[in-house]
Copies of this chain bind each other. A is one copy, B any other.
Amino acid sequence: MFDFKYFTPTKVVFGKNTESQVAELIQEFGGTKILIHYGGGSVVRSGLLQRVTDCLDAAGIAYVTLGGAVPNPHLSLVYEGIELCKKEGVDFLLAVGGGSAIDSAKAIGYGVANPDFDVWELYDYKKQAKGCLPLGVILTIAATGSEMSDSSVITKEEGLVKRGYSSDYSRAKFAIMNPELTMTLPDYQTACGCTDIMMHTMERYFTNGGNMDLTDALAEGLLRTVKDNAVILRDDPSNYDARAEVMWAGSLAHNGLTGCGNDGGDWMTHKLEHELGGLYDVAHGAGLAAIWGTWARYVMADCLPRFKKFAINVMGVADSGTDEEIAIAGIEAMEDFYRSINMPTNLRELGVEPTEEELVEMAHKCAVGVGGEMGSAKVLNEQDMLNIYRASM
């Protein structure tokens, strides 16, 4: 078992109409001039943005707004947000949306709090942050877990480079989670979110470094819950309880809970998907689903006990046959599940057909991005990455 740190200071306010508490939460954490950062028009069309600004107006809290955060949020918008914050004297960020708005807001917060260097240098492994503007979240998509995590992912348009940066400074002060706000999501996005949530836990689960039975028990319980509720939501998207199960699972899947006592996880499915996301702007969850099965078969032999345990405790595979047979049955059951919620299990189903040249380029960028090689289930080098990309076609 590995030593660990666990720090989840975010105050979660979970349930119906909780967005009405936004002003008092901002005041509790000292915000006086707010940047409300959101994504596309749905936050406007649904009336949520209006309800939020009404709350702030009623409480006499000043704010400016910045929309336009997109999936795989862009660095150019981050720069725009930083300038706006400086110009307006913003001292608190409020992200209204999903991972795109939250990650973009985190990057803006880093930029304002670290004025002596370009914020991209954090994501390019050249600098460490010394702070971040305080951040609150109103969550509208259950997926990335960014509302309780220390991480953010930004895409630099030049060269389509997608990179992550993590520090405790960026953990949100509060997260308002009203499952009703996720009900208008397209079914495809709901399924992508469920996939992302499961993958955050699975990345931590498939390791060769360290073991904590309690962490595994929590992870397996979380995976079973999301799997069951993803199917419920496929058939009944307005099911409040299922929305709530998935939403809360999304936060717990990425706040650190499901990795305590091990080496931090594998994360290569994410890294492989990041290059896809940089190049094609595909939905993150769908990209993960499209890669995972190929990755799993490629690394399975090097992490067999955990693939077996996953098969039995998460996918309900019977404990009979060889370890390899059980492990393979678990991977197949996971792929069946993905297909059942209309997620892809290869690049073709994802709707992208990279040329051999592009596969080589993605593998190279991925290898550079991880510093040469990476992985815990199995350490992958550039050739391994290329092999997986090719096999996932």
Query: A11–B150 Cα gap in the complex (Å)?
Result: 14
The digit string for A1-42, where 1 denotes a CB below 8 A from any CB of B, is: 111111111011111101000000000000000000000000
Q: Taking CB as reference atom, which chain B residue is nearest A2?
A: B15
Given contacts A14-B6, A218-B218, A261-B248, contact A213 B240 (CB under 8 A): no
Query: Cβ of A245 and Cβ of B11 under 8 Å apart?
Result: no
Interface set, chain A 217-238, CB cutoff 8 A to B: 217-218, 220-222, 224-225, 228-229
Is A241's beta carbon under 8 Å from chain B? Answer: yes
What's the nearest-Cβ distance from chain B to residue A148, in Å? 9
Choose one: B7, B18, B221, B252; the contact of A3 (CB below 8 Å): B18
Chain B residues positioned under 8 Å from A212 (CB to CB): 241, 244-245, 248
Q: Taking CB as reference atom, which chain B residue is nearest A228?
A: B213
Query: Cβ of A214 and Cβ of B249 under 8 Å apart?
Result: yes
Is A260's beta carbon under 8 Å from chain B? Answer: yes
Query: A8–B9 Cα gap in the complex (Å)?
Result: 6
Chain B residues positioned under 8 Å from A221 (CB to CB): 214, 217-218, 220-221
Chain B residues positioned under 8 Å from A11 (CB to CB): 5-7, 9
Query: A2–B221 Cα gap in the complex (Å)?
Result: 20
The digit string for A194-216, where 1 denotes a CB below 8 A from any CB of B, is: 00000000000000000111100
Query: Cβ of A13 and Cβ of B8 under 8 Å apart?
Result: no
Number of copies: 2
Query: Cβ of A14 and Cβ of B248 under 8 Å apart?
Result: no
Query: Cβ of A222 and Cβ of B213 under 8 Å apart?
Result: no
Chain B residues positioned under 8 Å from A224 (CB to CB): 217
Query: Cβ of B5 and Cβ of A8 under 8 Å apart?
Result: no
Query: Cβ of A14 and Cβ of B4 under 8 Å apart?
Result: yes
Given contacts A221-B218, A224-B217, A225-B217, contact A244 B1 (CB under 8 A): yes
Choose one: B5, B16, B18, B241; the contact of A14 (CB below 8 Å): B5
Query: A248–B216 Cα gap in the complex (Å)?
Result: 13
Query: A66–B222 Cα gap in the complex (Å)?
Result: 43
Q: Taking CB as reference atom, which chain B residue is nearest A15?
A: B3
What's the nearest-Cβ distance from chain B to residue A352, in Å? 33
Chain B residues positioned under 8 Å from A9 (CB to CB): 8-9, 11
Query: Cβ of B248 and Cβ of A214 under 8 Å apart?
Result: yes
Query: Cβ of B214 and Cβ of A225 under 8 Å apart?
Result: yes
Chain B residues positioned under 8 Å from A211 (CB to CB): 241
Query: Cβ of A245 and Cβ of B213 under 8 Å apart?
Result: yes
Chain B residues positioned under 8 Å from A214 (CB to CB): 221-222, 225, 245, 248-249, 252
Query: Cβ of A222 and Cβ of B217 under 8 Å apart?
Result: yes
Query: A9–B228 Cα gap in the complex (Å)?
Result: 30
The digit string for A324-367, where 1 denotes a CB below 8 A from any CB of B, is: 00000000000000000000000000000000000000000000
Choose one: B2, B16, B260; the contact of A248 (CB below 8 Å): B260
Given contacts A212-B244, A245-B212, A260-B248, contact A15 B4 (CB under 8 A): yes
Shortest beta-carbon contacts, A-B, top 8: A3-B15, A217-B221, A6-B12, A9-B9, A214-B225, A7-B11, A221-B221, A4-B14
Interface contacts beyond A4-B12, A248-B260: sample of 20 additional A-B pairs, CB < 8 Å, sorted by A: A1-B241, A1-B244, A3-B18, A4-B14, A5-B11, A6-B14, A7-B12, A8-B8, A14-B260, A14-B261, A211-B241, A212-B241, A212-B244, A212-B245, A213-B229, A213-B245, A217-B221, A218-B222, A248-B261, A257-B257
The 10 sampled A-B contact pairs (Cβ below 8 Å) are A3-B18, A5-B13, A6-B14, A8-B9, A9-B9, A9-B11, A14-B260, A220-B221, A244-B261, A257-B257
